[in-house]
Structure 1
Amino acid sequence: MRGIAKKQVTNQQPIEIKNDQIFLNVIINAKTRSLEITIKNARLIEGDLIVVTNSEPKEFPKLNNLGTNSEINYEKTQKWKVNADTILGKYEPKQKDDWIKTNLKFNYEESEKIDSKTECYSHWISYIDKDGNILSKSCIRAYPTWMNDMKDSIQNFNMKQIFIPGSHDAGSYRLNFNPEKDETVITKYSLTQDDNIKSQLMHGIRYLDIRMGYYAFTKDKFFMVHGITKQRPLKEALEQLKNFVIETNEIVIFDVRKFELGFQNIEVHRELIMYIESYIGEYLVDATHSWDITLNEIWNSGKNIILTYGDSSMRNEFPNILFNIVQHRWGNKDDWSSLEEYLRGLHGHLTASAQSDMAELTPNAWGIITDKYGGLRKMADDVNPKVYELYSKHLGFTTNILSVDFHRGIAVTELAIHFNRLRKHTQQ
């Protein structure tokens, strides 16, 4: 498959930045779906460029003897020697730690092509010097098996010790949705992700925050919802989750925590639990274990899905399959300074349950009515880079679960891999 790199050797080392190492990362803007490139430790030497391609580069043509950056005729240097492909964009780093917004669009249909062997796909980013030497390289990454890839490092962690990437309101997405064309007043404040459940999992998400609605008079009665807005049918998520754990042997938390519509009758809860069990029952981790269960114990059990449930009476009725819900550490803040203060104040406070930092801005009702915020996409685009900086520099070492809106706009899986590796080293 063109433009997709399959894994040959598993040696993922994101964020491991040495003093002279140039670090690149590429994310996707939620509102425009354009690529954004983050750089750390740029050399700021004349002639250095960041080049975007849609295949993995092996070598670029020599750019020396062509003058300064402003004088180079890029039309004559569009081909590189090995790949015979075109350069999609080229950018000059302006500062040591830089954030470059591009006009290059990501096509979400590309995400449907990946599988459990995919590592890089769609776009590659290279930092090259004036002679075309590649000094650093990155790509749009999938992480379908990151837990198994670093099993030796994390297998003895329990579920409260491991850093887990999470998606807030994981079921709030639309298929084939183009925010620049299809956005409405409703979708502006109800959609929180751009990937379906399969794609979220393939890109490394291992905690799924699920909110439920019951619609008695429709063919599919159970839907994932966001507040009062109906989103995707639950069976879609369950089928994708089941197929994913069968294919990858990864461990996933499926957190069914809120029941927004139609759950006044306890029988509806029972019906939902039996419905979920009919799809993924054979893969459910024994809930009589506490959250202190280790990853190795879960893998040895041959079951991969931790199912939580937000109704205590149901947990008492089905104690073998329903864990207590993940504790949400939710600030309910609509501006970054307040959210940052809240998130900084969380760490060092542990509970008996797994806990998730809910690192997204929350609009208030009047702000939604007046469109004060510009929508959840804009809020995520504004806050995700700041969340990344906060956790990469300050909070990552003590984080259990980090849940975000529009997870492709923040390298949350890379953060998890990095800090899980650091935690292993500190235990040795």
Structure 2
Amino acid sequence: MTRSFSFKLNNSELLFIRLFVLLTFRSSVWSQLENAGQKDGTCRKPYVDILVSPLVEKNGTSELLLFWNVETVVPDGWIVLKRGTTLIFKSPINGTSGSVETNHFYDSPDVYSFKKQYLGYNVEYIQNVTGAVLATSSMETNPTWMTDEATLLGDLRIDNIFIPGTHDSGAYTGVLADSEKRIEKYVIAQDEPVLNQLIFGIRSLDLRVSYYSVRNHDYDQLYINHGVRGVRPLREVVEQIKEFLEKTREILILDFHQFPIGFSNFRILHLKPHETLIDYLLQELGPFIAPPQLTWNARLQDFWNLNKTLILAYNNRKMLSKYSHILWPPVHQKWGNAQELSKLKEYMRNVFANPPIGPWSAQAELTATGRKIITDKLRGLRQMAASINTQVTEWFQSDWGAKCHIVTCDFFRSTGIVKTAISWNLRRATGDSCDL
């Protein structure tokens, strides 16, 4: 004989059961995330970011990309883009790291502020069935990230901080990408003017200066070059640097490593191009230049105590001796001369197996050779950056981020290098691989 039972639950009891199931499931999700961190000893938070593609549309806008790097993929995990609080894009997450195009486009404001600025977009990593937000990030500027965290970062040495930088910093575009012809598209390496680079958080600039005069101290003939191609007067870049230094107390490295044209004195014996460049820098930026006697072992707080926040790193031994009161020893650039992602990664893997001592930069960009420029096989620096920059972000969120000093990129806004550097510096300051 079979007995049947029936009973009804009131609304309060039904609500209690639903909440219990929801909280139990959510607890399970968080447990998975925490256990993943404990297992590999990192306990790092899931990372999401909004990137800007280096590929530019004819109307001058660039597509927004969503990037994620998580240790554990939760069931029914999604990455979403919001404009303010309005959901405008959603995509499932199927792996621990990756990126996705959104078909939404970013039109840069004409002017950015010297205070941290929210730019209207948010990204979230969510667990769809529960609605749990596992990670979130905003598109924003970082004009004062060093001084914002001065209490934590002040005791870090300048050679032991992760410094986000740009490669060929002065080779930025002032025109639409579709006007970059065969040569130009292998010259332009950045989308943002130098001032904007600094406002977004870049703290090391790679400046390649040429001199196009037969007279000394002809400052208007100092130009920023990319290779043998002149891009713009150095004065334009120095004015932007000066404005940033006047408005903030951020510590900035100017890396003068290459001098493509006009600095070989064997042709015109009376010409002194190095002295011309250095005298110009001293004239325009002198009040900000930190004395090299601080050395690369100086703490960030030491620069702030002196109110001198500019490092002039200069790759010329004779000038280092002559101008020892203002010029710092050069940054050792680790450059792979690679034309494809796998070769660059192999080169970087070897570098990080035995990182250099002292100031050095990981040049995290592909290089176009003469033949490949002529044949246009690589399709320009924008396409080259688009093919590697999300992977570069992932590399430096790994333990490479614990070992690097300066990291330079092309089209830096298609990387997460600034936020990645800030996260690693907070870890270094606390001596812990866990996130705060």
Aligned with residue 199 of structure 1, among 196, 199, 210: 196
> What secondary structure sits across from 2:366 in the alignment?
coil
Structure 2 CA distance for aligned equivalents of residues 204 and 312 of structure 1: 30
Structure 2 CA distance for aligned equivalents of residues 287 and 243 of structure 1: 23
Percent sequence identity is 30
Note if contact 2:253-2:310 (Cα within 8 Å) is conserved in structure 1: yes
| Aligned residue number for residue 403 of structure 2 | 398
Structure 1 CA distance for aligned equivalents of residues 432 and 317 of structure 2: 36
- Structure 2's unaligned 5+ residue stretches are 1-32, 38-44, 57-61, 266-270
Cα deviation per residue 1:347-406 (whole Å; 9 max; x = unaligned)? Answer: 254555300000111122111111111111111111111111222123111011111111
| Aligned residue number for residue 118 of structure 1 | 116
Q: Does 1:138 align with 2:144?
A: no
- Structure 1's unaligned 5+ residue stretches are 1-16, 58-79, 81-86
Cα deviation per residue 1:195-233 (whole Å; 9 max; x = unaligned)? Answer: 111100011110101101112289821111100111122
Structure 2 CA distance for aligned equivalents of residues 138 and 294 of structure 1: 30
| Aligned residue number for residue 49 of structure 2 | 25
Note if contact 2:116-2:144 (Cα within 8 Å) is conserved in structure 1: no
> What secondary structure sits across from 1:241 in the alignment?
helix
Structure 1 CA distance for aligned equivalents of residues 162 and 79 of structure 2: 34
Note if contact 1:324-1:353 (Cα within 8 Å) is conserved in structure 2: no
Whichever residue aligns with residue 122 of structure 2, its letter is W
Note if contact 1:174-1:232 (Cα within 8 Å) is conserved in structure 2: no
- Deviation of 1:235 after TM superposition, in Å, equals 1.3
Structure 2 CA distance for aligned equivalents of residues 119 and 228 of structure 1: 37
| Aligned residue number for residue 241 of structure 2 | 241
Q: Does 1:159 align with 2:158?
A: yes
Structure 2 CA distance for aligned equivalents of residues 348 and 99 of structure 1: 27
Note if contact 1:242-1:279 (Cα within 8 Å) is conserved in structure 2: yes
Structure 2 CA distance for aligned equivalents of residues 92 and 133 of structure 1: 16
Whichever residue aligns with residue 414 of structure 1, its letter is K
Note if contact 2:53-2:64 (Cα within 8 Å) is conserved in structure 1: yes
Q: Does 1:45 align with 2:76?
A: yes
The 3 A distance-change label for structure 1 pair 291 and 23 is: closer
Answer 1 or 2: which has greater helix percent. Answer: 2
The 3 A distance-change label for structure 1 pair 127 and 418 is: closer
Structure 2 CA distance for aligned equivalents of residues 383 and 45 of structure 1: 28
- Deviation of 1:273 after TM superposition, in Å, equals 0.8
Cα deviation per residue 1:274-332 (whole Å; 9 max; x = unaligned)? Answer: 11111101100002332112211111111110012222111111110111111101111
Aligned with residue 36 of structure 1, among 54, 65, 87: 65
Higher Rg of the two aligned structures: 2
| Aligned residue number for residue 256 of structure 2 | 256
Structure 2 CA distance for aligned equivalents of residues 37 and 228 of structure 1: 36
Structure 2 CA distance for aligned equivalents of residues 125 and 389 of structure 1: 17
When the two chains are superposed, the root-mean-square deviation of aligned CA atoms in Å is 2.4
> What secondary structure sits across from 2:118 in the alignment?
strand
Structure 2 CA distance for aligned equivalents of residues 384 and 199 of structure 1: 19
TM normalised by structure 1 equals 0.82
Cα deviation per residue 1:221-251 (whole Å; 9 max; x = unaligned)? Answer: 1111100111122112111111112211000
Note if contact 1:43-1:96 (Cα within 8 Å) is conserved in structure 2: no
- Deviation of 1:254 after TM superposition, in Å, equals 0.7
- Deviation of 1:130 after TM superposition, in Å, equals 6.9
Whichever residue aligns with residue 55 of structure 2, its letter is K
Note if contact 2:142-2:201 (Cα within 8 Å) is conserved in structure 1: yes
Whichever residue aligns with residue 116 of structure 2, its letter is T
Structure 2 CA distance for aligned equivalents of residues 49 and 426 of structure 1: 31
Whichever residue aligns with residue 148 of structure 2, its letter is D
Structure 2 CA distance for aligned equivalents of residues 183 and 380 of structure 1: 15
Structure 2 CA distance for aligned equivalents of residues 387 and 135 of structure 1: 23
Structure 1 CA distance for aligned equivalents of residues 426 and 209 of structure 2: 35
Structure 2 CA distance for aligned equivalents of residues 92 and 355 of structure 1: 38
Q: Does 1:387 align with 2:387?
A: no
> What secondary structure sits across from 2:260 in the alignment?
strand
Whichever residue aligns with residue 210 of structure 2, its letter is G
Structure 1 CA distance for aligned equivalents of residues 262 and 330 of structure 2: 20
Structure 1 CA distance for aligned equivalents of residues 134 and 160 of structure 2: 35
| Aligned residue number for residue 282 of structure 2 | 277
Structure 2 CA distance for aligned equivalents of residues 343 and 148 of structure 1: 30
Structure 1 CA distance for aligned equivalents of residues 180 and 408 of structure 2: 23
| Aligned residue number for residue 421 of structure 1 | 426
The 3 A distance-change label for structure 1 pair 139 and 182 is: farther
Whichever residue aligns with residue 198 of structure 2, its letter is L
| Aligned residue number for residue 148 of structure 1 | 147
Greater CA drift, 233-242 or 264-273: 264-273
